[in-house]
Amino acid sequence: DIQMTQSPASLSASLGETISIECRASEDIYSNLAWYQQKSGKSPQLLIYAANRLQDGVPSRFSGSGSGTQYSLKISGMQPEDEGDYFCLQGSKFPYTFGAGTKLELK
């Protein structure tokens, strides 16, 4: 199975701060990488797919980048509503595998 190593496990950011979350795959996943946000008590929601494509309705302060085995999610200007858990997911090979998650809090 492809292992997804996500970092950091937790992050505290100030209002307006730019933050990045990283995911490293154990093998090339050819940009088959999606990012999800999960707010407390809610279902995950798709933010980014194909490594850098913004899902409809997602604010433009979210962006994704990367290729091969290294990917990142950037939030350009932390907002209060961005608090939550973030997960990466590789969809290159079955079984699809998630990163362990990053808990993002507002400082």
Partner 1 sequence: QVQLKESGPGLVQPSETLSLTCTVSGFSLTSYSVSWVRQPSGKGPEWMGRMWYDGDTAYNSALKSRLSISRDTSKNQVFLKMNSLQTDDTGTYYCTRDPDMGGVMDAWGQGASVTVSS
List, as one string, the DSSP characters of 69-106. Answer: TEEEEEEES--GGG-EEEEEEE-SSSSPEE---EEEEE
Neighbours of 57 (CB within 10 A): 8
Of residues 58 and 106, the one with the C-beta less far from partner 1: 58
Of residues 20 and 44, the one with the C-beta less far from partner 1: 44
100 binds partner 1 (CB under 8 A): yes
32 binds partner 1 (CB under 8 A): yes
Of the CA atoms within 13 Å of residue 26, those in its CB half-sphere come to 10
Q: Which of 14, 40, 43, 60 binds partner 1 (CB under 8 A)?
A: 43
Residue whose entry in the numeric block shows the structure tokens 């590789």: 90
91 binds partner 1 (CB under 8 A): yes
Least distance to partner 1, CB of residue 104, Å: 14
